[in-house]
Amino acid sequence: MINQVLLQGEIKKITISEPKETKKSKGASAVILLAYGPEREMTGNAVEFVHACQIRIPSYKFPPLRDKLRQGQFVDVYARVQGVFKTYGDQGMLTIEIVAEHIDIVRFGPHAAQNGAAPQRDPKPAAAEPADDSEPAAPAAAAEAVA
Taking the CA atoms of the chain, what radius of gyration do you get in angstroms? 18
Domain spans in the chain, listed from the N-terminal domain onward: 4-146
Indicate the burial class of 123 (C-beta count within 10 angstroms; 0-12, 13-18, 19 or more).
Answer: exposed
In this predicted structure, what is the pLDDT of residue 22?
A: 63
Across 130-138, average pLDDT:
43
In this predicted structure, what is the pLDDT of residue 137?
A: 44
Residue 6 per-residue DSSP state? E
What's the pLDDT tens digit per position in 107-119?
653 434 443 444 4
- One of 3.40.605.10, 3.40.50.1860, 2.40.50.140, 2.60.120.260 is the CATH number of 4-146, namely 2.40.50.140
pTM of the complete model = 0.68
Question: Does residue 49 carry a pLDDT above 70?
Answer: yes
Query: What whole-number distance in Å separates Cα of residue 106 and Cα of residue 55?
Result: 17
Q: Closest Cα partner for 76 from 4, 133, 8?
A: 8
Query: What whole-number distance in Å separates Cα of residue 98 and Cα of residue 83?
Result: 9
What's the pLDDT tens digit per position in 1-44?
668 899 999 999 999 998 877 666 678 899 999 999 888 888 88
For the chain, the straight-line distance linking the first and the last C-alpha, in angstroms and rounded, comes to: 15
Query: What whole-number distance in Å separates Cα of residue 68 and Cα of residue 59?
Result: 15
